[in-house]
Amino acid sequence: MRMLLLNALTAAFLIQIPDFSGLHARAAVYTGDPKTIAHDFLDLEKAYGARKEDYAAIDRIINTSIATIGTRKGYTTDEAVQTLRSIDSLLRKEGLTFKDNLLLGKGLDRKTIDCDNYAALYIAIAEVLKIPLVPVYAPNHSFIRFCFDDGTYLNWETTQGKSQPDSYYIKTLRIPEKSIRSGVYMKILTRKEFIAVEYNNIGSYLMSIRKFGDAVPYFSAAIQLNPLFSSAYHNRGTVHYAMNRLKEALADLLKANSLDPSRASTHNTLGDIYFDQKEYDRAVHEYTAGIRIDPTNHAPYNSIGLIMKIQKKEDMAQKWLNKSKEIKKMHSR
């Protein structure tokens, strides 16, 4: 289903974004110059394992697209879907499959890439072939939007290889209306905002291997490029908390929560900070907010139980602690 772009600002992005790299003519053979967004991702990952073979893989994918995907100046819905299916088929033939993975280079090596890296490859192809594709961001998720000349668009879920309406993302990812209105989610990303996604991913990779101090500058760079980047605020707040920087953690997590109040992990970490500061009522408020959003996580139940014990409310404490054990058994993590 095609949808109408919501305002003049979005329509302006429609014109600007597909031409990320100043590529003005479709090359007969692509040799890596000018660089695409996927090459830019790899440049940022050089310190974390990106290899020349990864650049060659992107060049090969683009050259295969040049040889196999027909393009035109204007597209019908059916023609757009066929083009997107062709890209999906090309990537599948490369052996690429969807799996959570933070770095494009490592994903290309392992043949498993996540939604952000799928989007980067689609956009890289689109830059060279001049296909009107743009990246869109939702909570912890990137997808693609095909923009038509009449101001309408079609969303493409790269991990599924099919189109999805806005309502699918809003419902599935529980996106608050507030976060859409303020431009946090479901908007077309500028090039620098898409680069911010990559900075956030590198920071998340460093966080996953417990290099918390190294991760902070990447999250800060992501925020500088996109001041509405809730995930980057959340992640930076999380690493600050891991390093016992409670003041900085609290500031970042409160900002993340103001941008996206539907992230359970933000509420739970805020609860942990208030717990550490012995602000127990505030802690319980945040834990219960997290439980409302994600009732399958046992940790906040346990934390409330511990607070009840501290407050000498033994009966309530036991109920919450028992509930935590029950949830943990039902939803092991």
The per-residue pLDDT for 3 is 75
Task: Examine residue 34 and say whether the peptide bond preceding it is cis (omega within 30 degrees of 0).
Answer: yes
Query: What is the number of residues in the chain?
Result: 333
Tokens (6 digits) for 298 = 């046992």
Cβ contacts of 40 within 8 Å, gap of 6 or more: 195, 198
The per-residue pLDDT for 217 is 98
Give dist(CA 115, CA 111) in Å, integer.
13
The per-residue pLDDT for 274 is 98
**Contact (Cβ atoms closer than 8 angstroms) between residue 303 and residue 290:** no
Using DSSP, state whether 330 is helix, strand or coil.
Answer: helix
The per-residue pLDDT for 331 is 86
The per-residue pLDDT for 102 is 87
Considering the chain, what is the average pLDDT of its residues? 92
* Ramachandran bin of 138, using left for φ above 0, alpha for ψ from -120 to 50, beta for the remaining angles: beta
171, with CB counted inside 10 A (0-12, 13-18, 19+), is exposed
Cβ contacts of 34 within 8 Å, gap of 6 or more: 21, 22, 23
The per-residue pLDDT for 194 is 98
The per-residue pLDDT for 36 is 97
The per-residue pLDDT for 74 is 92
The per-residue pLDDT for 39 is 97
For residue 117, which of 173, 187, 61, 74 has the smallest C-alpha distance?
Answer: 61
pLDDT less than 50: residues of the chain: 6-25
Give dist(CA 156, CA 218) in Å, integer.
28
Q: Which amino acid is residue 63, in one-letter code?
A: N
For residue 290, which of 300, 275, 305, 277 has the smallest C-alpha distance?
Answer: 300
**Contact (Cβ atoms closer than 8 angstroms) between residue 192 and residue 223:** no
Query: What predicted TM-score, i.e. pTM, was given to this entire model?
Result: 0.90
Give dist(CA 106, CA 85) in Å, integer.
25
Q: Set out the domains of the chain in order of their start, with CATH numbers.
A: 3-189 (no CATH), 192-330 (1.25.40.10)
Measured in whole angstroms, how far is the alpha carbon of residue 125 from the centre of its chain?
A: 20
The per-residue pLDDT for 201 is 97
The per-residue pLDDT for 333 is 57
Measured in whole angstroms, how far is the alpha carbon of residue 83 from the centre of its chain?
A: 24
